[in-house]
């Protein structure tokens, strides 16, 4: 990425300042509380510095992604290949994209939670994407295919935050502080022909190719599951119309979907963010996703989680 020397020095200084602000914010969250005047000022400053820390290319990408999101018109991958050179820059783009959407964050999705999907996108770890409130739907749901670009369909467990989560929480404590539901997630991307060859930093920039999430019936996690180990033993069946397409198992998600939730809590903390009570976390797919098409999709779970239904219209 080409930068003038002066511009480069300014960007480095701003990035360092942003990191310091995040450390101060985290300290205040722990020792004072998020409702204080100080923390509100720090959060405002951080948002301003994050905007300033964007390179011209990153800022342009965020605006271009927002336009594609708003107009439902896809972008050419070739125009943006190798333009975002690191993961930190990609998360800056994502943050700016969410600012442009100007809607409350309803939760997050975690992607690349299996060895197979990480290999597809040349990654050694998961990644996350923020999702706006209006894209979390309750089952049974109906959605128009015309509002999507190149959607897929995945089967996941979703956790809803019932009590504040911290990166010090054990898996057992995460169970005690959440409710759980089966879900159908519909990834969608603002780039043409994106699956499975889109570079990882563009996946991150595009909010982890978020589309929508259809959430089933919610239950206290500790009521559904006796212990941590049992969360890794959920089976699902995905059906389209009357045909069984896929069967999956929750152990595909980092060995246990609770590991995915714990990873997200820690990663968000590193970025100066945290999950809020009421937000959802879609933890990762049990299956390799087929393409979404018009018709009725149903996934059924064991462990008393029931079924989730999505009707896709034209």
Return the pLDDT at 22: 58
Return the pLDDT at 48: 46
Which residues does residue 159 pair with via DSSP β-bridges, in sequence order? 180, 281
Tokens 């089966």 map to which residue? 182
Distance of alpha carbon 187 from alpha carbon 311, whole angstroms: 16
Return the pLDDT at 36: 52
Whether residue 310 has a cis bond before it, omega within 30° of 0: no
Return the pLDDT at 38: 53
Return the pLDDT at 122: 85
Domain parsing of the chain, residue ranges? 104-313
**pLDDT string in tens for the chain (314-residue length):** 444 444 444 554 555 565 555 556 555 555 555 445 555 555 544 554 445 479 999 999 999 999 999 999 999 999 999 999 999 999 999 999 999 999 999 999 999 999 889 888 888 899 999 999 999 999 999 999 999 999 999 999 999 999 999 999 999 999 999 999 999 999 999 999 999 889 999 999 999 999 999 999 999 999 999 999 999 999 999 999 989 999 999 999 999 999 999 999 999 999 999 999 999 999 999 999 999 999 999 999 999 999 999 999 99
In the chain, alpha helices (H): 5-31, 37-53, 56-71, 87-101, 115-120, 171-176, 200-205, 221-224, 228-231, 257-270
User: Which structure tokens are listed for 173?
Assistant: 């404590």
Asked if 145 and 294 touch (Cβ cutoff 8 Å), the reply is: yes
Return the pLDDT at 240: 99
User: Which structure tokens are listed for 261?
Assistant: 């939730």
Asked if 76 and 65 touch (Cβ cutoff 8 Å), the reply is: no
Return the pLDDT at 53: 77
- Contacts made by residues 194-200, CB under 8 angstroms, sequence distance 24+: 194/77, 194/150, 195/150, 195/152, 195/289, 196/117, 196/120, 196/121, 197/77, 197/120, 198/77, 198/121, 199/81, 199/82, 199/121, 199/122, 200/87, 200/90, 200/112, 200/121, 200/122, 200/123, 200/127
User: Which structure tokens are listed for 10?
Assistant: 């300014």
Distance of alpha carbon 150 from alpha carbon 135, whole angstroms: 16
CATH 3.90.850.10 fits 104-313, yes or no: yes
- 211 phi, psi to nearest 5 deg: -120, -80
Return the pLDDT at 124: 87
Which of 240, 244, 248, 231 lies closest to 287 in space, CA to CA? 248
């Amino acid at each position: 990425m080409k930068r003038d020397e002066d511009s480069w020095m300014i960007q480095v200084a701003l990035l360092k300042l942003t990191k310091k602000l995040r450390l101060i914010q985290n300290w205040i969250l722990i020792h004072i509380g998020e409702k204080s005047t100080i923390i509100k000022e720090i959060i405002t400053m951080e948002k301003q510095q994050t905007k300033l820390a964007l390179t011209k290319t990153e800022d342009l990408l965020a605006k271009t992604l927002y336009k594609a999101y708003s107009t439902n018109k896809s972008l050419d991958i070739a125009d943006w290949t190798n333009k975002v050179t690191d993961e930190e820059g990609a998360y800056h783009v994502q943050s700016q994209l969410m600012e442009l959407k100007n809607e409350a964050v309803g939760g997050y999705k975690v992607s690349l939670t299996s060895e197979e999907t990480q290999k597809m996108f040349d990654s050694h770890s998961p990644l996350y994407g923020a999702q706006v409130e209006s894209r979390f739907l309750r089952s049974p749901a109906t959605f128009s295919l015309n509002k999507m670009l190149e959607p897929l369909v995945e089967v996941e467990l979703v956790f809803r935050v019932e009590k504040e989560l911290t990166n010090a929480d054990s898996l057992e404590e995460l169970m005690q502080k959440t409710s759980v539901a089966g879900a159908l997630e519909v990834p969608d991307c603002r780039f043409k022909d994106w699956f499975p060859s889109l570079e990882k930093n563009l996946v991150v920039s595009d909010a982890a190719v978020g589309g929508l999430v259809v959430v089933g019936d919610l239950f206290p996690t500790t009521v559904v599951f006796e212990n941590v180990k049992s969360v890794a033993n959920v089976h699902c069946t995905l059906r389209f119309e009357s045909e069984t397409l896929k069967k999956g198992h929750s152990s595909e998600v980092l060995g246990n979907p609770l590991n995915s939730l714990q990873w997200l809590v820690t990663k968000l903390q590193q970025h100066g963010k945290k999950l809020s009570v009421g937000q959802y976390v879609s933890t990762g797919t049990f299956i390799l996703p087929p393409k979404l098409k018009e018709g009725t999709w149903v996934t059924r779970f064991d462990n008393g989680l029931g079924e989730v239904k999505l009707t896709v219209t034209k």
